[in-house]
């Protein structure tokens, strides 16, 4: 996958944690090959279009990249300034003689922002045909933790733990639960977008090839918290409907709302979500019902 240094390996029974340096360029190449599916096990996708995220993440990283690609700082400084990535893989092997790390079925569970920001930055260098800057970019390395051999439940907990350094809403901790993946697929079948991962709507819809699968979305989507509120209302659970964020406090309260059968009714979800949205808009705009 990428040139690396492999300073240490930790093992716990049949589970392994490899720590390596990988080039930022190789991660961008991997993203370009696999697209957003590379982040499918993460709790969020790119937040580049979010103003708060741009101020907190994008601008500082781009400033570092500017200094490196302009020759003002060494590429070696990058991992000192920026958090690395965490990668899950079915298996991992390294060849010391050629310094390559080979991963089977890699998935980024932390570091989505680093890779997407780097991808956009590199595209600008490519458009400007700045070969010297591109060469400096290729020398940048990041610290990568490679998680191998975990169960699905363990990986979800690892993913959640690795994403706590950035502000995160409780609902995002449930984004990889089977019920939400099934809802996402069921709604996609009828052309509607379900944003189970924060930032996914903006990331997917900007790509025409991906956007065509959501022909009935009409520039909007169903949010996880909104759907939770609608389901709570339909079951007369007024307390949960009044404070939908509390639905995601723990697994018990979550599972009471998001039962396994929910994904069987995608058209019902769309219908009640549209009514709910219309009612909220009417109230907010003082269009009271007569």
Name every residue whose Cβ is closer than 8 Å to that of residue 259 and which is 6 or more positions away in sequence: 179
CA 196/CA 184 separation, integer angstroms: 7
CA 31/CA 108 separation, integer angstroms: 9
Per-residue pLDDT, averaged over 159-181, amounts to 78
Amino acid 11: pLDDT: 47
Amino acid 3: pLDDT: 41
**Is residue 73 within 8 Å of residue 67, measured between CB atoms?**
yes
**Is residue 180 within 8 Å of residue 224, measured between CB atoms?**
yes
CA 283/CA 136 separation, integer angstroms: 55
**Is residue 20 within 8 Å of residue 153, measured between CB atoms?**
no
Most distant CA pair in the chain: distance in Å? 77
Amino acid 99: pLDDT: 59
Amino acid 94: pLDDT: 64
Amino acid 163: pLDDT: 64
Can you give the residue ranges of every domain in the chain? 2-162, 170-284
pLDDT digits (tens, 9 = 90+) for 41-74: 775 555 455 555 444 456 788 889 999 999 999 9
pLDDT digits (tens, 9 = 90+) for 208-230: 888 889 998 887 889 999 999 99
**Is residue 240 within 8 Å of residue 253, measured between CB atoms?**
yes
DSSP β-ladder status, 194-195 and 91-95: unpaired
Own/partner pairs, 268-277, CB within 8 angstroms, 24+ separation:
269/183, 269/187, 269/222, 269/227, 269/230, 270/187, 270/190, 270/192, 270/222, 272/230, 272/234, 273/222, 273/226, 273/227, 273/230, 276/226, 276/229, 276/230, 276/233, 277/226
Q: How confident is the model at residue 191 (pLDDT cuts 50, 70, 90)?
A: very high
Mean pLDDT, all residues of the chain: 82
Per-residue pLDDT, averaged over 247-276, amounts to 91
- Please tell me whether the overall predicted TM-score, pTM, comes out greater than 0.85 for this model: no
């Amino acid at each position: 996958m990428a040139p690396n240094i492999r300073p240490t390996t930790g093992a716990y029974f049949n589970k392994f944690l490899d720590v390596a340096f990988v080039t930022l360029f190789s991660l961008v190449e991997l993203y370009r090959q696999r697209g957003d599916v590379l982040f499918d096990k993460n709790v969020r996708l790119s937040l580049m279009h979010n103003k708060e995220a741009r101020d907190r993440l994008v601008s500082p990283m781009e400033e570092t990249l500017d200094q490196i690609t302009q020759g003002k700082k060494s590429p070696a400084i990058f991992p000192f300034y920026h958090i690395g990535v965490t990668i899950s893989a079915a298996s991992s092997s390294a060849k010391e003689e050629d310094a390559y790390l080979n991963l089977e079925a890699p998935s980024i569970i932390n570091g989505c922002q680093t890779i997407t920001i780097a991808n956009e930055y590199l595209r600008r260098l490519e458009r400007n045909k700045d070969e010297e800057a591109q060469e400096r970019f290729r020398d940048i390395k990041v610290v990568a933790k490679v998680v191998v051999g975990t169960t699905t439940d363990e990986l979800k907990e690892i993913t959640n733990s690795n994403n706590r350094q950035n502000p995160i809403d409780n609902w995002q901790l449930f984004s990889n639960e089977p019920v939400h993946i099934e809802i996402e697929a069921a709604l996609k079948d009828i052309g509607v977008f379900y944003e189970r991962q924060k930032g996914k709507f903006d990331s997917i819809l900007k790509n025409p090839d991906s956007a065509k699968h959501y022909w009935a979305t009409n520039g909007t989507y169903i949010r996880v918290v909104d759907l939770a509120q609608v389901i709570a209302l339909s079951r007369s659970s007024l307390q949960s409907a009044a404070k939908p964020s509390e639905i995601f406090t723990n697994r018990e309260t979550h599972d009471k709302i998001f039962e396994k059968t929910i994904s069987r009714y995608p058209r019902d979800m769309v219908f009640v979500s549209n009514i709910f949205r219309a009612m909220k808009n009417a109230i907010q705009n003082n269009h009271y019902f007569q």
